[in-house]
């Protein structure tokens, strides 16, 4: 594969390489309200939760997940304010309750678990895009958590995967508008990870 | 079997580099990013997928857009890591600045840059950092800013110290600042590390050496820039960043 070329024929700039997030991002990247795209009590909120596992089946207590999704109305423009700040104290105010930024960030806990609260994505793009970072992972990984959204058309990516591989991208409904989405970095039932071209 | 020696790790580093050079000679593409399964970095062993990545080339993919941030998401204090406490931190005060571009050379404007680092003694303000070097009550080591209209970011901080880690016996990380960047699309997300020029620890470090392409690895090293040094105040380093990955406009312009 040759590197992509601009239409003008000028070669593209070489990118800056990725490096692992390492073990000590915990006081820098997570922020108050990071896992809550909407207030938890909101009746139409959903919870997506799960565990991140390594290749031995052990939970990973130092992974960081980010989720990006379309607005329930289908738009993908996002909005500022995920880290809305207090100009007086410099602290975090929490998101504006009526602004949907489409972005959540959550660090796994000591058991490898995580949960985010958000709104169901639209049928035009019925998934949360996921970026996975961890100590030991030199370059982050992308995957998708597909939700069972009414009216969603057949999805090209899901359609071409073998059933057991496809299953790794499907968030499993539970009680009270919860959906379970585990991430397995390696081995049995390894999550399908994506390369965007 | 005891912990691996530096000699063994260095041998594995050389083998990985030779393997990459041989692959290049055989026509393999340039490897800009590290291979996720990189033997000398022991923690990667169980934390990388064995299946190849599934290629997505969907012009409607949500990942071709991404989160946005604005003036409400940062404060002026965030970019000066030396001003977040009552007193001044110990260490060599530095200014780190650079331009964030996409691969077409377009500035990445108004996007969030986050950094974190050890203090001047090589200790993180993190409970799980057990390196017996002193914490600094006047330094936390986390910062944020938005890129300006030319894609530029600037931080004032102190030069972080090298620190030991448990990858192998006598493993030391070269001084580095962790960076997290958002681009115009989720596909352009980048988490990486910036290094300081001339560090004698480079050759021993499996994390830096995981970038087996010499030119790519060099792109992780900032340049000392005397014009950026502020008289009587700080030493200046320049580190420009190029984000990888397609975006919605990229695809519309037929560059995919
Ligand atoms: Fe570090």
Distance B176 CA to ligand 1 centre (A): 6
Question: Tell me: the pLDDT tens digits for A109-152?
Answer: 999 999 999 999 999 999 999 999 999 999 999 999 999 988 88
Active site residue B124: yes
Task: Give ipTM to 2 decimals.
Answer: 0.96
β pairing state of B142-146 and B112-116: antiparallel
The pLDDT tens digits for B144-203 are: 999 999 999 999 999 999 999 999 999 999 999 999 999 999 999 999 999 999 999 999
Nearest CA in chain B to A6: B255
**Which string of b and e fits B25-49 if b means at least 16 CB within 10 Å?**
eeeeeeebbbbbbbebbbbbebbbb
Structure tokens at B235: 């030493």
Tokens of A16: 């800056």
Q: Is B105 left (phi over 0), alpha (psi -120 to 50) or beta?
A: left
Task: Name residues whose C-beta falls within 8 Å of residue A175's C-beta, 6 or more positions apart in sequence.
Answer: none
Q: Spell out the domain ranges in chain A.
A: 25-184
The residue from B153, B163, B195, B204 that is catalytic is: B163
pLDDT, tens digit, 9 for 90 and up, residues B109-128:
999 999 999 999 999 998 88
- pTM value is 0.96
H/E segment holding residue B251 = helix B248-252
A25-184 belongs to which homologous superfamily? Aromatic compound dioxygenase (2.60.130.10)
Is B94 an interface residue toward A (CB < 8 Å)?
no
């Amino acid at each position: 594969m040759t590197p992509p070329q601009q239409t003008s024929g000028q070669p593209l700039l070489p990118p800056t390489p990725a490096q692992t997030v390492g073990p000590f991002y915990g006081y820098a990247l997570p922020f108050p309200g990071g896992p809550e795209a909407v207030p938890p009590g909101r009746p139409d909120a959903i919870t997506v939760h799960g565990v991140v596992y390594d290749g031995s089946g052990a939970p990973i207590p130092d992974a960081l997940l980010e989720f990006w999704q379309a607005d329930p109305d289908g738009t993908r423009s996002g909005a500022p304010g995920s880290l809305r700040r207090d100009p007086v104290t410099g602290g975090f105010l929490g998101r504006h309750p009526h602004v949907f930024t489409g972005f959540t960030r959550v660090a796994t806990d000591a058991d490898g678990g995580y949960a985010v609260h958000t709104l169901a994505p639209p049928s035009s793009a019925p998934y949360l895009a996921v970026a996975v970072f961890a100590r030991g992972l030199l370059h982050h990984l992308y995957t998708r958590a597909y939700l069972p959204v009414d009216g969603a058309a057949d999805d090209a990516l899901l359609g071409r995967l073998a059933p057991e591989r496809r299953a790794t991208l499907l968030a499993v409904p539970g009680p009270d508008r919860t959906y379970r989405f585990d991430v397995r970095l390696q081995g049995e039932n390894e999550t399908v990870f994506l390369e965007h071209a | 079997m005891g912990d691996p020696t530096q000699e063994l790790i260095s041998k594995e580093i050389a083998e990985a580099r030779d393997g990459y050079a041989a692959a290049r000679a055989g026509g393999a593409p340039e490897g800009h990013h590290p291979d996720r399964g990189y033997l000398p970095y022991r923690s990667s062993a169980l934390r990388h997928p064995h299946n190849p990545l599934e290629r997505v080339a969907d012009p409607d993919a949500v990942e071709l857009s991404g989160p946005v941030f604005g003036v409400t998401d940062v404060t002026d204090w965030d970019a000066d890591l030396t001003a977040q406490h009552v007193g001044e931190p110990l260490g060599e005060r530095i200014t780190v600045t650079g331009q964030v571009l996409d691969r077409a050379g377009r500035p990445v404007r108004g996007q969030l840059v986050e950094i974190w680092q050890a203090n001047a003694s090589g200790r993180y303000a993190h409970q799980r950092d057990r390196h017996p070097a002193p914490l600094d009550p006047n330094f936390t080591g986390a910062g944020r800013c938005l890129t300006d209209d030319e894609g530029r970011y600037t931080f004032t901080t102190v030069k972080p110290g090298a620190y030991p880690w448990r990858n192998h016996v006598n493993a030391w990380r070269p001084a580095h600042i962790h960076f997290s960047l958002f681009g115009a699309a989720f596909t352009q997300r980048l988490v990486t590390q910036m290094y300081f020029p001339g560090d004698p620890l480079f050759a021993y470090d499996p994390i830096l050496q995981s970038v087996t392409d010499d030119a790519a690895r060099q792109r992780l090293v900032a340049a000392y820039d005397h014009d950026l040094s502020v008289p009587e105040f700080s030493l200046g380093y320049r580190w420009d960043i190029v984000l990888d990955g397609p975006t919605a406009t990229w695809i519309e312009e037929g560059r995919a």
